[in-house]
Structure 1
Amino acid sequence: MKNILIIGGGLGGLSAAISLQSKGYQVTIIDENQHPGGKMMSVKMGGYSFDFGPNTITMPKVFQSVINDAGGDSSSYFQFEKLEKHTKNVFSNGKVLFQSANPEEMIAELRKFDSLGASRYREYLKEVNRLYLLAEKSFFYRVFDSWKDYLSPQLSRSFMKVRPFEKMNHFHRRYFRDEDVLKVFNRYATYVGSSPFSCPATFSLIGHLEMNDGVYYAKGGNTSIATGFRQFFEEIGGVCKFGTRVEEIIVKKKRVIGVSTSDGEFLMGDDVIINGDFITATRNLIREEDRLSFPNKKLDSYQPSISAFVILAGVKEYQESIHHHQLFYSEDYKKEFDEIFKDKRLPGDPTIYISHSAATDPNITKGSNLFILVNAPAIDLKRDEIVQYKEKIYDKLENHGIFIRDSIEVEKIFTPNTIKSKFSAYKGALYGIASHSMTESFLRPSNVSKDIDRLFYVGGTTHPGGGSPMVTISGRNVANYILNRDKV
């Protein structure tokens, strides 16, 4: 029986672990944190329950298939509920637009703002569906272990059809005219940690997932996906070592042979899968002489994705006006992204996102559990900056009629500093590498190590990219690569 070691128990590591364990491998997950799921983390304080992230769930079949394909019944571990009117968008002038996967409802909403958008909405849905189907067929479910893989005629044809040279903002202006409506659809760039004015229009396919397929919530909290994965994995014989840090990946003659841990153990592995930030894991766990393709200088040259300034606020009075997913947009959206990526400072007028899962699932928490997020650059923040910016966020909410400051019973703040230390994230970035240049978008670090045999990477910083479904798919892809190699 072959031993597989997985460093990190996020969704990518868990999905790879389940797929391999169910096929007869002995898999061990090693994670320095005490919980499964990585950034999909539950935070409980004083009777309040929060999902740190991700908050928006799409592609539920991706998660279900991990357990179902391994011989289990995913409904025994987590269940999904579709949110009909999934997002409430509030603009600087106070106007509100609700998003829905029902096209008739969306057209009615768009008529209030954008006659062109209303008339072209079905055309938009058709195009983002086309982008998604192309990406799903040609890109999502495969491992690129050599640059030559990108040169196949079929892949080249597909690549040219997914609008790789057009920017997302330009693409959306084909269908929408109103500047506020454009913000709603351009926000999809932040799902891959990027700016809509810099990232390829290819990522507009996210619109298909939300506006055609729909947005979902895992009952009891989205973290139930991760806890369900862990439970099933252990039930089929997998081993979890949480609270254990990997100190080094041991390489001999250009082949991985195991890892050393903070417990002083050496664990042997026939294969090692890294489920963590590609840059920090590569730099911190592998000796530079063993990774000639990724010396420190190259690793330090990557542009980090968006980070976040997050407030978890437990409010004793239930906030009936706050939707499950709600946004308060900045007046000048382009300026906000320029401040983040060019000036590398906190936005002066931030767009505020709130996840209020109690709006759908009130029994999971007391009062209102507000996950309040502002996009931020991946920089270190000083204590006085953190305090001042928190008050700025509360001030903006009050300008929109949300008075919660005096009703907060529990509060916890996460900054780029926190994310960097808690999740070993590159400079505190949420998605690792930004998806702005062609290389960053389409030639992300491979799932297969270029330098070390039997070493693999899964997670949002490698192919196929960020977002919980893609991360889960990356784990399945690597597992299938190993299974095909071993002809299991």
Structure 2
Amino acid sequence: MKVIIIGGGLGGLSAAVTLARHGASVKLFEKNPHFGGKMMPIDLDGYHFDFGPNTITMPEVFKEVFTQGGLAAKDQPVFEKIERHTRNQFPDGGHFDFSSDHQDMKNQIAALEPGKEHQYDSFTREVERLYNLSKQSFLNRTFSSWKDYLSPSLAAKIVQVKPWQNMDSFFAKYFSHPYIRQSLNRYATYIGSSPFHAPATFAMIAHLELNQGVYYVRGGNTKIAEAFVKAAKKQGAELYNNTKIQRITTANRKVTGVVTQEGDFQEADYVILNGDLLHSIPELIENEKRNHLSDDKINSYDPSTSAFVLLAGLNKRLDQLHHHHLLFSADYHKEFNSLKNGDYPTDPTIYISTSSKSDPTVSPYGDNCFLLVNAPPVGAGRNDVDPEEVKERIYSLLNTAGIPIKNYIQAEEVWTPEKIASQFGAFKGAIYGPSSNNKRQAFMRPFNRSLDFSNLYFCGGSTHPGGGAPLVVLSGQNVANQLLGRLVIME
């Protein structure tokens, strides 16, 4: 079985490991110099940054790929749990910290909202239930057609994961204090969506962070991608970087192979497209050949949010910064309304990841601050936004909050939604593919198999089971197992 994988993100790499391990001939092509997709290392004048993801959950998903790849324990990245992992800071100077220590969380809740600490156990049980139902029904399976949604047992489980309630109203059932509500509502941004529209189903993310825990990989989270590359090569997969695929060749409703930018034809029995299929499909296959995923269909999708990113290497370590640190906006509704209207919020929530707080070796001269604010997708609104203006607004808000990052900058790099779109082939610069702001897109993402070509498959954040590093890895595993005839559907 000859399989060609287009895109060397985590989904494509994980599929390559599984397929090669079970005897398939695998060739993977990546247009960028690095493998790992958005899990990209950036080094600026001695400061190391993980472009993304900065928060690691579900380490068992990554470890399974290492095991399949035959990596010895000494060759596997080390996952370190961060107990009190996120500082949520507010405009009035107050804060609420996230921790996987339940007693720690209860103590903080009791101080903010006396009596509600008794709700925490029922809350964590409910988000665990949502996660377990999602795992049984969505996370470990592929979706190849509309028929896959028509199973009575699947329909019953969908109803149980609260698809009609939004995340904000779900959290409001348990807590009233604005610190707690706003902190929890941020989980919607993990899927590039608004907590006032995304289904309560995604409250399961709270289970991953607050029950299971948040992790960091020593040396940088990008060590995960490096290990995936080693695992794929060890199993015999051929990996090519700096190699852009120009088009997918087709005949009689099947794909026959790919053509590289240099004009080389590579034959295939199956092609797996890893990456943002909403961006890639129009580039690779003529519109008239794809009735089910036409340009009009693709353009009907509501993209998730994009991001404005600053990388700032400091000549000082700021004691007030934590590994994961949020400075929240004063009005979360207003922030998401601005994004919906295609505008940069004037008072954005600012996320700061400073991995040197857990691992000083990645930034020996001072803090390595990865700053991110939610931004509208490319083409959603005004196109005349000055990146310098956005950057200075971010630094000004931080300075007012007592986090004077600008005063100590030694190295700096700016990433706009346009740059993200270009670098990663992201549809309109969206970080997580289609948004989950409506029920259709939340549960019925583009299928894992093309409806136009029987041997063309999709993995990555724009298809099932969704965005985020662990789910992207699972999408690659699920597609590989389907091709191998090993996928077990849990009903």
TM-score by length of 1: 0.97
Deviations 1:301-355, CA, capped at 9 Å, x for gaps: 11110100000000011222210000000011111011101x2100111100000
1:77-92 map, 5 Å: 77-92=76-91
Which deviates more from structure 2 when the two are superposed, residues 151-160 or residues 464-473? 151-160
Residue pair 1:40, 1:226 contacting (<8 A) in 2 also: yes
Deviations 1:226-285, CA, capped at 9 Å, x for gaps: 011001211222111100100100011111110001122111111100001021111111
Residue pair 1:355, 1:370 contacting (<8 A) in 2 also: yes
Alignment partner of 1:272 is 2:276: no
Alignment partner of 1:482 is 2:453: no
Cα distance in 1 between the residues matched to 2:79 and 2:208: 15
Cα distance in 1 between the residues matched to 2:390 and 2:10: 31
Which deviates more from structure 2 when the two are superposed, residues 234-243 or residues 330-339? 234-243
Partner of 1:263: 262
Question: After the TM superposition, which segments of 4 or more aligned residues of structure 1 sit over 4 Å from their partners?
Answer: 380-384
Cα distance in 2 between the residues matched to 1:236 and 1:297: 40
Partner of 1:373: 372
Alignment partner of 1:420 is 2:418: no
* AA at the equivalent of 2:336: F
Partner of 2:55: 56
| Structural RMSD (CA) | 1.4
Cα distance in 1 between the residues matched to 2:134 and 2:7: 27
Residue pair 1:116, 1:177 contacting (<8 A) in 2 also: no
What SS does the corresponding residue of 1:115 show, helix, strand or coil?
coil
Which deviates more from structure 2 when the two are superposed, residues 362-371 or residues 12-21? 362-371
Partner of 1:149: 148
Partner of 2:168: 169
Which deviates more from structure 2 when the two are superposed, residues 18-27 or residues 145-154? 145-154
* AA at the equivalent of 1:139: F
1:65-76 map, 5 Å: 65-73=64-72, 76=75
* AA at the equivalent of 1:472: V
Cα distance in 2 between the residues matched to 1:486 and 1:95: 48
| 1:72 Cα offset (Å) | 3.3
Cα distance in 1 between the residues matched to 2:210 and 2:74: 25
Cα distance in 1 between the residues matched to 2:448 and 2:356: 37
* AA at the equivalent of 1:160: V
1:126-137 map, 5 Å: 126-137=125-136
| 1:50 Cα offset (Å) | 0.2
Cα distance in 2 between the residues matched to 1:176 and 1:249: 51
Partner of 1:237: 236
Residue pair 1:320, 1:359 contacting (<8 A) in 2 also: no
What SS does the corresponding residue of 1:190 show, helix, strand or coil?
helix
Residue pair 1:18, 1:233 contacting (<8 A) in 2 also: yes
Q: Residue 253 and residue 223 in structure 1: after superposition, are their counterparts in 2 closer, same or farther (change >3 A)?
A: same
| 1:419 Cα offset (Å) | 0.6
Partner of 1:351: 349
Q: Residue 74 and residue 479 in structure 1: after superposition, are their counterparts in 2 closer, same or farther (change >3 A)?
A: farther
Residue pair 1:311, 1:413 contacting (<8 A) in 2 also: yes
* Alignment size in residue pairs: 485
- In structure 2, list runs of 5 or more residues that go unmatched: none
| 1:87 Cα offset (Å) | 0.3
| 1:146 Cα offset (Å) | 1.6
Deviations 1:359-393, CA, capped at 9 Å, x for gaps: 00001123111000001111357676210110000
Alignment partner of 1:36 is 2:35: yes
1:18-37 map, 5 Å: 18-37=17-36
Alignment partner of 1:340 is 2:339: yes
* AA at the equivalent of 1:344: G
Partner of 1:212: 211
Residue pair 2:69, 2:232 contacting (<8 A) in 1 also: no
Residue pair 1:114, 1:181 contacting (<8 A) in 2 also: no
Partner of 1:466: 467
Cα distance in 2 between the residues matched to 1:75 and 1:257: 40
| 1:116 Cα offset (Å) | 4.8
Sequence identity (%): 44
| 1:119 Cα offset (Å) | 2.1
Q: Residue 384 and residue 126 in structure 1: after superposition, are their counterparts in 2 closer, same or farther (change >3 A)?
A: closer
Partner of 1:394: 395
| 1:74 Cα offset (Å) | 5.5
Residue pair 1:176, 1:182 contacting (<8 A) in 2 also: yes
Residue pair 2:304, 2:431 contacting (<8 A) in 1 also: yes
Residue pair 2:69, 2:231 contacting (<8 A) in 1 also: no
Partner of 2:359: 361
Partner of 2:411: 410
| 1:187 Cα offset (Å) | 0.5
TM-score by length of 2: 0.97
Residue pair 2:96, 2:179 contacting (<8 A) in 1 also: no
Which deviates more from structure 2 when the two are superposed, residues 141-150 or residues 457-466? 141-150
